[in-house]
């Protein structure tokens, strides 16, 4: 039986660059002790106070169909949070609650792309981006950012790719690079969106994980609220990855259509999860800061460790849960380096190539293990890179 092109070509075919990850998982299942610095999952669990509200809500009977757009309480809470943080007037009519940020990425692209339309995204990118765009029948077109710019996108490069595009997807704080887009970068991007009449889909799921600079939501820039769809999530800010609760913030008309889409796809998010999310958000900064703290600490450790050597370069780690390390001095691809590190030292990191072309020769390190193991792994990684460089120069001097 024939399957749709859309579903069979969702992943783009070929290697997805995650071989190192699967290999590490296989080694672990065979009993090998591997330090995993791969995926964006906290090493802490959802806070007991959040679980307690979730439990009370479920036991109290909030287990039937919930309102498809989200409960009034959660929509109001998200709207108030967004308005307080951005200054942009926002009400519940600007908010749709979704089963996580990923569903929001899919829904936003469904809302703005017709089949065959071109949708832009920036390379390096979060793994699901091109597949999400292909999943709505659109054509995914990457715009390269550059290591020499610390992966801050250039408006000119986006503009050059934008002629036939309908949307642009951005992500700051960024996975995989850990970079936070500057005001100048975002103003440049907003300018291209206005000039080229693009929808801007702004993935802000790491907005509470900022170590340097400030998170600016492009929805707050002049004339951008009418053309920006913001994707948010409880996953990272509140260590609620498994609860599947996120949102879209955008113009009321778009949210109206997206509610129809939700009625025909997800049919909403469980009520007891939404009650837990409402509680967690109403706790304000202290809970978010507590959850972000381990990453803040490890990022400081990483800066110290990286400053003691000069083989491995650190892309300015300004936010999110990751470090992007430049290992090009070894002469190896990110993939070869990550495989060698796994084989030699049982440390699993992800090759930059898993996230597109722009971060080749780099590796992404998730700061998701306890401080001591994290610091030790990073030191080992740097020593390993230095050893590879010295072996290389020895080979070179032997061969003349
Ligand atoms: N966007 C980015 C950049 C992410 O890293 C992730 C999760 N790793 C998501 C979206 C999706 O998150 P969720 O669906 O759990 O909200």
pLDDT per residue over 249-268, tens digit each?
Answer: 999 999 999 999 999 999 99
pLDDT of residue 32: 96
Atom number of ligand 1 nearest to Cα 174:
3
pLDDT of residue 394: 79
CA of 101 to the centre of ligand 1 (A): 6
Helix (H) or strand (E) holding 299: helix 285-307
- The CA distance from 80 to 90, in Å, is 7
- The CA distance from 246 to 200, in Å, is 18
Report pLDDT digits (tens) over 54-67. 999 999 999 999 99
Q: What is the CA radius of gyration of the chain?
A: 21
CA of 231 to the centre of ligand 1 (A): 9
pLDDT at position 395 over 80 = no
pLDDT of residue 19: 87
Percent of all residues in the chain with a pLDDT value above 90, rounded to a whole number? 93
pLDDT of residue 107: 98
pLDDT at position 202 over 90 = yes
Q: What is the full DSSP assignment across 98-140? A: ESHHHHHHHHHHHHH--TT-EEEEEES--TTHHHHHHHTTPEE
pLDDT of residue 398: 66
Q: Which residue has the tokens 């998010």?
A: 269
CA of 243 to the centre of ligand 1 (A): 13
Mean pLDDT of 227-232: 98
Mean pLDDT of the chain: 95
pLDDT of residue 294: 96
Mean pLDDT of 108-130: 97
Atom number of ligand 1 nearest to Cα 203:
1
Atom number of ligand 1 nearest to Cα 126:
3
Class of domain 5-45+286-399 (CATH, top level): alpha beta
Q: Which residues line ligand 1 (CB under 6 A)?
A: 40, 100-102, 126, 171, 175, 203, 205, 233, 235, 241, 246
- The CA distance from 166 to 357, in Å, is 23
The C-alpha angle 103, 109, 112, rounded to 5 degrees, equals 140
CA of 24 to the centre of ligand 1 (A): 22
The C-alpha angle 6, 12, 16, rounded to 5 degrees, equals 140
CA of 393 to the centre of ligand 1 (A): 41
CATH 3.40.640.10 assigned to domain 62-283? The reply is yes
Residue of the CA atom closest to atom 7 of ligand 1: 40
Mean pLDDT of 276-289: 96
Mean pLDDT of 98-122: 98
Query: Helix, strand, or coil here: 256?
Result: helix
Atom number of ligand 1 nearest to Cα 104:
14
Given pLDDT bands bounded at 50, 70 and 90, which one contains residue 309? very high
Out of 2-11, 26-35, 63-72, 178-187, which region has the weakest mean confidence (pLDDT)?
Answer: 2-11
Q: Give Cα separations from 26 to 20, 335, 369 (angstroms).
A: 10, 17, 19
Given pLDDT bands bounded at 50, 70 and 90, which one contains residue 47? very high
Given pLDDT bands bounded at 50, 70 and 90, which one contains residue 11? confident
Mean pLDDT of 351-369: 95
| Domain coordinates in residue numbering, the chain | 5-45+286-399, 62-283
Sheet of 228-233: strand order equals 95-98, 246-249, 228-233, 199-203, 165-171, 118-123, 139-144
Given pLDDT bands bounded at 50, 70 and 90, which one contains residue 156? very high
Atom number of ligand 1 nearest to Cα 246:
16
CA of 94 to the centre of ligand 1 (A): 21
pLDDT at position 400 over 60 = no
pLDDT of residue 221: 98
100-112 and 252-264 helices, crossing angle to 10°: 110
Bridge-based pairing state of the strands 95-98 and 118-123: unpaired
pLDDT at position 397 over 80 = no
CA of 103 to the centre of ligand 1 (A): 9
- 363 phi, psi to nearest 5 deg: -130, 150
- Is the pTM higher than 0.85? The answer reads yes
Mutate to test the pocket of ligand 1, among 42, 102, 277 (most ligand atoms within 8 A of CB): 102
Residue of the CA atom closest to atom 5 of ligand 1: 175
Mutate to test the pocket of ligand 1, among 233, 248, 277 (most ligand atoms within 8 A of CB): 233
pLDDT at position 230 over 90 = yes
Atom number of ligand 1 nearest to Cα 245:
16
pLDDT of residue 13: 67
The two structure tokens encoding residue 24: 């590490």
- 365 phi, psi to nearest 5 deg: -110, 120
Given pLDDT bands bounded at 50, 70 and 90, which one contains residue 15? low
């Amino acid at each position: 039986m024939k399957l749709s092109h859309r579903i069979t070509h969702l992943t783009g075919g070929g290697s997805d660059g995650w071989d190192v990850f699967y290999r590490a998982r296989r080694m672990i299942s065979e009993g090998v002790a591997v330090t995993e610095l791969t995926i964006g999952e906290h090493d802490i669990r959802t806070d007991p106070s959040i679980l307690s509200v979730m439990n009370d809500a479920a036991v109290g009977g909030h287990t039937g169909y919930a309102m498809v757009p989200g409960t009034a309480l959660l929509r109001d809470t998200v709207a108030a949070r967004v308005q307080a943080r951005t200054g942009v007037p926002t009400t519940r009519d600007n908010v749709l609650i979704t089963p996580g940020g990923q569903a929001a990425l899919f829904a936003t692209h469904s809302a703005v792309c017709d089949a065959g339309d071109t949708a832009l995204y920036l390379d390096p990118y979060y793994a699901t981006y091109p597949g999400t765009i292909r999943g709505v029948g659109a054509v995914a077109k990457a715009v390269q950012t550059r290591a020499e710019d610390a992966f801050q996108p250039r408006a000119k490069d986006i503009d050059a790719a934008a002629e036939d595009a309908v949307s642009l997807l951005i992500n700051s704080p960024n996975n995989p690079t850990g970079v936070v887009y500057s005001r100048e970068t975002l103003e440049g991007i907003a300018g291209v969106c206005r000039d080229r009449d693009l929808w801007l889909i702004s993935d802000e799921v790491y907005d509470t994980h900022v170590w340097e600079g400030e998170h600016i939501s492009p929805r707050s820039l002049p004339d951008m609220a009418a053309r920006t769809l913001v994707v948010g999530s409880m996953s990272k800010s509140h260590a609620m990855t498994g609860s599947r609760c996120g949102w879209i913030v955008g113009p009321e008309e778009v949210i109206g259509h997206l509610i129809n889409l939700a009625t025909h796809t997800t049919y909403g998010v469980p009520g007891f999860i939404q009650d837990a999310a409402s509680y967690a958000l109403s706790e304000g900064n202290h809970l978010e800061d507590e959850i972000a703290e381990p990453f803040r600490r490890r990022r400081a450790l990483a800066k110290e460790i990286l400053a003691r050597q000069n083989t491995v370069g650190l892309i300015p780690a300004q936010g999110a849960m990751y470090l992007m390390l430049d290992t090009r001095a070894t002469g190896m691809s990110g993939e070869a380096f990550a495989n060698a590190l796994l084989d030699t030292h049982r440390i699993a990191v992800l090759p930059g190539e898993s996230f597109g072309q722009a971060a080749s020769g780099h590796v992404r390190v998730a700061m998701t293990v306890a401080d001591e193991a994290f610091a030790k792994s990073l030191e080992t990684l740097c020593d390993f890179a230095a050893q590879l460089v010295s072996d290389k120069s020895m080979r070179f001097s032997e061969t003349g």
